[in-house]
Structure 1
Amino acid sequence: MSDRSYRFTHAITRKPAASIIAGLRAVDTGTPDLALMQAHHAAYIAALRATGATVIELDALDAYPDSVFVEDTALCLPSGAVTMRPGAPSRLGEAAEMAPHLEALYADVKRISGPDSFIEAGDILMTETEILVGRSARTNAAGIAELAALVAPWGETVREVHTPPGVLHFKTDCSLLDAETILATRRLSATGCFTGYRLIDVAEGEEAAANTIRFNDVVLMPAGFPRTRDALLAAGYDLREIGNSECAKLDGGMSCLSLRFTSKP
């Protein structure tokens, strides 16, 4: 299971729906431009494919404005997948839409089903040794406990942590750069939840740069954060900057746009 948290053969994405202009947002910073979002999304997919990965592009779901953010619907692990139970009522149906695609790829697909359980995978950071899950407005203690019970037979360890107040998802403020290193905002790293890991802090005022993805040998990061970019380059990472202005209007980032996994022969 070496490098299981950042080396992948496959990714699942979903085309942005025209209904995305009605997507959820914590703060209204303007209506997303669908054409520009589509262009950014195409660049994102091209960057994934350039690493050698197979990218599965699912059709848009107009009934679910936020469905481009596929990461929230499931957690993909080496031994199987778990479909989530989103904490936003308008997103509850998205996990069911994703399930058949995962069942075609995995022999074992479990699901969060407790009526009191809520969990979105934007709150889940998988590392080489553990699965960190942040309590947030979208993920509760019951959801975390249910996930821990479901993945324990696969030898996975879940550790509950806390998302800072006012931050939508745990991974809004952090991302994995390699087996030992996490990129994080100071407000999150100050909680002590990353003890034992090497930390790189995003630059002050560039908190939105914290959500990147390490995908094989490349780190995909949102464009427009030069000081954080320079820090990552200085640390030796191979970067690809992707436009994210429109997804950012809906609290979306690099990790939100794909499910990443390794297909077993």
Structure 2
Amino acid sequence: MTANPAGFGVRSMYARLARVAVRTPSVAGDFAAAGWRAAPDPGRIRDQHAAFVHTLLDLGTDVVVLGETPGQVDSVYAYDAAFVTGRGAIVLNPAKPARQGEAAIMERSLDALGVPVIGRLANDATADGGDLMWLDDSTLAMGRGFRTNAAAHTLMRSLLAEEGVDTVSFDMPYGRGPDHCLHLMSSLSLVGPQVAVVFPPQLPIALHEWLVERDYTLVDVTEAEYDLQGCNVLATGPNQAVIFSGVPHVVGALEAAGVEVHEVDGDQFVLGDGGPTCLTRPLLRVTE
């Protein structure tokens, strides 16, 4: 979509990332209860977050750093609590017990940033932003799994129809079970109009077919690099991406496909099963 003078509007996964919100890591809280592999080192996670922000700034993105939310250790994964469309934000409703309260905090942050709320999920409709992905300007893919359910799909479909967006639902595989974070974006990152990073063992078949039918160059991620968030790639513009270091196969394949790759250290965020995209709440993406 073209630039919005109000400073918000997203209808793409890879249009230029003009404005984004990130959340300062919380180092006080129960990481074990939240399912982290281990508690992060407080100094290292803060340093890695600061370096990530610096990289985005260097790439020309306006970065809004939101304050720390003590006790909410997953809140650093800012992508999940709300979803921004062309008209404003939809406040989501996490199914994970450790993430209760995050959506209300994010709603207050978005209000302060001038992003209007156009809808809210509540009660039995649960969803994480990681299960919502723009396939193109008028099509939103929605994963149905342990974090996002059919009731949420119904509400999202209604809200998106008001701005002319079609939605397509995909069932996620069982994967490693309900305690493992498996989002739609765990198995797919669109980094350009014809380039996608995929983890085939957990990619819905119909979504793989959608990519093949459109002649995407597919960068397959190995299981070892998947566990290092190699499939979670943040596009900051068409064929320009930020990725956590330690995944040389993915980096090499992306560069061979013509993608400009920027590596940042992120092993402390991998402990909570989050990658570069997870750390962001895109507010404005523009087509130039």
State TM-score, norm by structure 1: 0.91
The one-letter code sitting in structure 2 at the alignment partner of 1:179 is: P
Contact 2:132–2:143 (8 Å) recurs in 1: yes
Partner of 1:233: 255
Contact 1:173–1:185 (8 Å) recurs in 2: yes
Quick one: percent identity of the two aligned structures?
Answer: 27
Cα distance in 2 between the residues matched to 1:33 and 1:107: 33
Partner of 2:207: 193
2:187 to 160, 163, 173: 173
Contact 1:112–1:147 (8 Å) recurs in 2: no
User: Which ranges of structure 2 fall in alignment gaps of 5 or more residues?
Assistant: 3-10
Matches within 5 A, 1:239-254: 239-254=261-276
Q: CA deviation at 1:81?
A: 1.2
Q: CA deviation at 1:200?
A: 2.2
Matches within 5 A, 1:107-186: 108-128=116-136, 129-165=138-174, 166=176, 168-186=182-200
State TM-score, norm by structure 2: 0.84
**Secondary structure, in 3 states, of the residue corresponding to 2:76?**
coil
Cα distance in 1 between the residues matched to 2:59 and 2:32: 30
The one-letter code sitting in structure 1 at the alignment partner of 2:81 is: T
Partner of 2:232: 211
User: Which ranges of structure 1 fall in alignment gaps of 5 or more residues?
Assistant: none
- CA deviations 1:194-248 (Å, max 9, x no partner) are 3232122123532230011101252011110111111111111000111121111
Residues 1:50 and 2:58 are matched in the alignment:
yes
- Cα 1:194–1:103, aligned 2, differ >3 Å: closer, same or farther? farther
**Secondary structure, in 3 states, of the residue corresponding to 2:99?**
helix
- CA deviations 1:71-122 (Å, max 9, x no partner) are 1011112221111101112212111111122234456312333311000001
Cα distance in 1 between the residues matched to 2:62 and 2:156: 27
- Cα 1:73–1:103, aligned 2, differ >3 Å: closer, same or farther? same
Higher mean C-alpha deviation, range 186-195 or range 116-125: 186-195
Cα distance in 2 between the residues matched to 1:48 and 1:147: 29
The one-letter code sitting in structure 1 at the alignment partner of 2:170 is: V
Off by >4 Å, runs of 4+ in structure 1: 23-26
Q: CA deviation at 1:179?
A: 2.3
